[in-house]
Structures are given as structure tokens and as C-alpha cells.
Structure 1
Amino acid sequence: MSIYERSSSFVGPHTSMHCHLQIILQSITCRCACITLLAIASVGIFSAKVSAATPNRGQGISDTVEEEFRQRNGSLFTDWPTPQAVLVITGELDGYIEPCGCTGKENQKGGLSRRQNFLTALKSEGWPVVAVDLGGLVKRFGRQAEVKYQSIADGLRQMGYSGIGFGPADLRLPAEELVAAVAPVGNEPTPFLSANVGLLGLDANITPRFRVVEIGGLRIGITSVLGNSKSGDIRNAAIEVTAAEAALQEVVKLMQPGLCDHYVLLSWGNPEEARSLAKSFPQFDIVVTAGGADEPPSKLPVLENGARLVELGHKGMFAVTIGFFDNKDDPLKSQRVPLDARWGEAEDMIDLLATYQRQLESLGLTGLGLSPVRHQTGRRFAGSDACGDCHTYAYEVWENSSHSYALTTLEDQEPRRDGDPECLSCHV
């Protein structure tokens, strides 16, 4: 029996030809569909890499608020793909645990609350984050500065900082207060570190001299120094400060050049000093300096050895963010991030601020080392109402201005600020 006959015993010749045509058409259709699906998948994958979601606001912030502050202070992370890791650099807080509020907090930048929400936004997008701080947490000295330093240190721990340096104003505080604030808590290592500053001496090892962080498949080495131009300001026998260059020579050997993908130097000194250290120690590809302009530059200056020089501005109003990418043509991007109202307020930091204010209230002016200075005549302040009896017009102008209820604004806030001498100094 021929093949055709064997086939014809099941179907007729015309039916067989029709079936063959159907099979051929189905095969062509299936192949076209597969090619189309592959093309769509390829485009989708490519689009995801180019237009990855980027953090541009805190949780719960409306489009209207985000757009307002984007117009005021600029867009963020434009055209950034998802990085291998991001390095967030802050510093020079100068005690501004929150914006002072004199022109309305919504019109000001900075504060720990917004900083935490910014870090949370990065992590929520799946960006691996390493946060470091140059130091300079406080600017004044005395009991209030000691309480504030402890509060800020606690806040940075909660945010998960990996490296925090010391500024000269920090080191004006009593060594025992600094040790209490920066020492390890339980099994958690301290985030504070310095190559050349030793609380109770370098041999006491209260803080490490450097740290290596592994994140996103990268190893990042971090250390800090107090520059020679500032070390003379430290007049505390319980705090040892050595020359920055000599200390870095020791630490660089310990950090094993070539072990890390990136090396970060937090240098509390002037920009010229930071440039000199970068030249002497070319291992550091990220060099952070104190001083500089009120705002960080929009683009990081590139030094002779290829290192990026990072300035931070003043009062902790900005966070400079550096992204590392697995891309030989474009391995690094940077973004100056204003900590404005688009980031909102973090509950954890609001609670921390409330605890700080309660501590101040509990200590009172006497406990904070403040005592009233009597007028040389021995007379007492009569009060605004007494002035109004004679200065009628001036009193009316004052009464209709915001100065007349300046103290009330501190009493009405949550948490209250009327026990905070730094607030009272302007509001009474």
C-alpha cells in the first residue's frame, strides 16, 4: 500500500491538501506571535533599565506638593537607572535638628525628619543605600548642646548611618558626654569613626579608625579625619588628635588598597586641605570637605587624580547623593538633594524631637546652666501693656504684628518649644 493510499483510506485527497495548508499557516502564525512577544519583552526590559522608578518625594506627599518644590528647587535623579548602590553624604548640621521655622518650615530646608524620609524613599525604590555624615552635629557648647548631640546621634543610628565623623564644635563637648553618645549600643557597632581623633585617646578604641561596608556587590571603605587647620581648636586633654597625614598613612595600609571598589574620605577642614589630602592619598575617589559655599555645587568637581570633591553646604539643608553603576561608560552619577517639604515629616524623628524637648523642659533653665541677668538698675521688665499706655500707636502696630504672639507659637506647637532656650532667645 502506497503512502498516498494509506492516507486516502482516512481522508480524501482535497481534504488532505487543505489540512496541510492549515498546518503551514498555523506554524507561520505561531512563529510571528513568538517574534512579536519577544520584541515586546525586549522593549519592556530596555524601558525598565532606562526609565527606572526614581525617588522624588516622601511617602504620602501629593503630586501638587512635589511639583511645587520641583519648580522651586529642581528635579531629582533625572534619567537615573537603578544603581548598584548609592552613597548619601550629609554633614555640617550645626545643631539644626529641624529648620528654625522663622519663615515657615515649609519654606526652609533641612532637618532630621526630612532626611530620614529621603533615605526611606531611596530604599523603597530598591536602591541599596550607604549613608555617611561629615560631622559637625552641633555648633554651640553647654548642657543643651550635650543633650542635642545625644539626640542627633540617636537619630543617625536609627537612620542606619555607616560612618560619622567629628567636627571641631563636636569636640568642644566633654569627652565623657561624647563617649556616652557614640559608644556601641548592645551588639550594634558605633557608626562614629575617625583616623586621627581618639576619645579618651586613640588606644582606648572607643570608635574605629575606618570601616568597610559591603552593599550591592560593592565594597566601600570609609574613614574620617579632623584637618590640621582645625586640630588646634581642640583643647580637651581627654581627646587625642594626631596629624591627619600621618594618621591616614596608617589607616590606608590597614584598609588594604585594592580591597575596596570605592574609598571615601570625610575630611573636616577647608577645601584646600581636602584637595591636598586627595593628592597625597589618591586611593580615595570620594573626598568630602567642610566649608565651601552655602549650597553644594550642582556638579561635583573632579580633582587631578580623578577623585570627586564633595561640599555639603550649611545647616544640613542638602544631602549629596552619589550613585555607582555597573556601566564602564557612565559608572558614577551625582545629585544634590534639597531636603525641602517634598520629603514630609518622619514619625520616628518627630518622636525623637519630642523626647529632646521633654528633656529640656525637665532640666529647666537652671539645669541647662542659664540664669537671668538683672538690669544694672535692679528694675524689672514692666511688660508690653505698660508701654501701650503712652506709646499708643506703636503698641497698636506691635499688637497687629506677628511679634505680639511670638511666644504663643512656641506653646502651641506639637511638641512644644517653649522650654527650648534656643527658641526662646528669639521668641521673647
Structure 2
Amino acid sequence: MTQPTNQDDFAGASGRPAPEKKPACTRGLAFQLAALGLIVVSGLAGTGLARWLQSPQAVAPKDDNALVLSPRLFPGWNKPDLVLVVSAEQHGYLLPCGCSHPQKGGLERRSNLIAALQARGWPVNAVDLGNAPQIIAPAGLPNVQGLIKYRYAMKSMARMGYTAVGIGEYEASMPLTKTLDEYALNAEKPRVVCANLKEPEVKYPGETKTWQLADPIKGSDVTLGVTGLVGLSVRDRIAKKDKTVDWIDSTPALNTVLKEMDAAKVDLRVLLYMGSISQG
């Protein structure tokens, strides 16, 4: 028996007439028109139809970075003469800790706080007590990042408008000369202040001051002066890590600073004291 060899033969074997073939060009044109129609409908859905179908109750997503303070903060407060932001013990942490929302931490959140206060029209200045560097790298690795992180922390504080920073055990652990050379050698703001460093003009020329007068603060007539002291308990810990750092007695050092602030007619005098109240 002879087997059918094409589509026509199969149709003829069943006794049904073979279907009429459409020209290839007609089928291709129909497919192109259908595809074009789909594109047009998709375009409408992405423009007018999407707007028409949108729920009238829909609202724009909340901007977590909006410079607005919570109404629960400072309720009923009038504009203060000056807002002084005080930070400390950064230990090299630049980025948000990522614990949980909204506990984001880090320099980002601090910067947003200062910007939000300024957006309210309040005059703001900032100081940092010290212990800013990272002295131990993660996972026991060499602390290559320590000085780099310190430099960027200081740059960030400069952009936030900080007037002065103090020093502590962490700055001395790098040791202190390397810490100061990393930033203060080439930048004056924020100024590193310490009134009881011995011979700073010889050991750290141009890198520290006994006290710093703040620049005029926008929206405030208050003049701000900032000094720093390192207490005995911290000096003892520093001596174990950097024996090149020497000190003078704190009382006469601070009296000298106060006389200079009197002459400069400083209204608000801030002492960044790195030490123990009970142990010195």
C-alpha cells in the first residue's frame, strides 16, 4: 500500500477536502497588525489607562529622608538662642548600624538631624568629645582602615559644621601623631582642641589648639568657644599606648584658656572633658 507523503494526501485519505492555504504574506501581515495593536494597548496602559485605573486614595510614598522633625520632639518650643549638638565615642563607625528601622545610626542620621534642626530655622553648632577612630579591625585583620575612616569622619563633621573635636585614648592609639597628620595637618575645621597637651606647637605644629572660637552662627548672636581637657585616668591609658604624649597640669592650663575667652568676650564656653569625674 502506498503511504501518503504530504498534508494533501492525509486530507484526501479521510475523504475530507484539503483546507485552502492562505498566502504567507497575508498571514505575516495579520501577525504584524496584532502585534501593533498589543503595543498600542500596552502604551495606553502605561500612560492614560494607568492614571485612570489608579485608586483615588493612592498617595505618594513617604520620603524617609525628608528633613522634618517628629512633632513629638520639642513640642511647644520657641526658637532657641543656640542648639549645640554633642557627639562622642564614634569608634570608627561611619555607616548606619542597620539594627532596625528607624534605628539607623551612623553619620547619615546625625547629618539629617542637624539639617532638620536648621530647616526649622534654629541656629545649630556641633562639637565632638573624641575617641573617633577605629582601633581594632574586624575579624582580627590589620587595622588598615583605621586612619582612613578617621579622615572621612572628620571630613563629614566638617561638612556638618562642627567647630571642634577633642582627643582621647583612641586617637592616641594610632598613635597621636599619625591621627593628627591624617587630617588636622591639612584642615582646620573641625579643630582638634586640648588645653593640657605639653608643647603642642613643637610636637604637633598647626594641628591642635588650646581652644577654638566658633565662626558666627547663622541666626544667633551667641559667641561660642570650645576647649578640651584629658583627665588623669585617660592619660594613664594613653601612656600605655603612646609614650610620646606628654601633659601639663590641667588647672593652670584651663585658667589660661578662660582668660583668653574673657578677652574674646565668649558667651558660651564649652569644655570637652575626656576623663572620669571621680578619678580625673
TM superposition score category, shorter chain reference? 0.5 to 0.7
Q: Equivalent residue of 2:91, what SS? A: coil
C-alpha distance after superposition, 1:77-129 (max 9, x if no partner): 1211012221111111122222433x44x253521001111111111222111
Residues 200 and 240 of structure 1 are in contact (CA less than 8 Å); yes or no, is this contact kept in structure 2?
Answer: no
Structure 2 matches for 1:202-241, cutoff 5 A? 204-213=205-214, 214-215=216-217, 216-235=220-239, 236-241=242-247
Change (3 A) 1:202 1:270: same
Higher relative contact order (CA 8 A, sep 6+): 1
Residues 153 and 181 of structure 1 are in contact (CA less than 8 Å); yes or no, is this contact kept in structure 2?
Answer: no
| Percent of aligned pairs with the same amino acid | 30
Q: Equivalent residue of 2:227, what SS? A: strand
Structure-2 residue corresponding to 1:195? 195
Q: Distance in 1 between matches of 2:266 and 2:64?
A: 32
Q: Which among 97, 119, 122 is matched to residue 127 of structure 1?
A: 122
Change (3 A) 1:223 1:185: same
Q: Distance in 2 between matches of 1:147 and 1:205?
A: 21
Q: Equivalent residue of 1:197, what SS? A: coil
Residues 201 and 238 of structure 1 are in contact (CA less than 8 Å); yes or no, is this contact kept in structure 2?
Answer: no
Structure 2 matches for 1:10-409, cutoff 5 A? 59-60=65-66, 75-101=72-98, 103-104=99-100, 106=101, 108-141=103-136, 142-183=143-184, 185=186, 188-197=188-197, 201=202, 204-213=205-214, 214-215=216-217, 216-235=220-239, 236-256=242-262, 259-272=265-278
1:133 deviates by 0.7
Question: Which AA in structure 2 matches 1:91?
Answer: A
TM norm structure 1: 0.43
Change (3 A) 1:143 1:242: farther
Q: Equivalent residue of 1:270, what SS? A: coil
Change (3 A) 1:200 1:256: closer
Q: Radius of gyration: which is bigger?
A: 2
Q: Distance in 2 between matches of 1:58 and 1:132?
A: 26
Change (3 A) 1:228 1:58: farther
Task: Number of aligned residue pairs: give it.
Answer: 206
Q: Distance in 2 between matches of 1:273 and 1:182?
A: 31
Residues 67 and 115 of structure 2 are in contact (CA less than 8 Å); yes or no, is this contact kept in structure 1?
Answer: no
Residues 213 and 225 of structure 2 are in contact (CA less than 8 Å); yes or no, is this contact kept in structure 1?
Answer: yes
Q: Distance in 2 between matches of 1:202 and 1:242?
A: 14
Q: Distance in 2 between matches of 1:269 and 1:135?
A: 11
Question: Which AA in structure 2 matches 1:97?
Answer: L
C-alpha distance after superposition, 1:119-177 (max 9, x if no partner): 11111222111111111113524322222211211111121100111121121113342
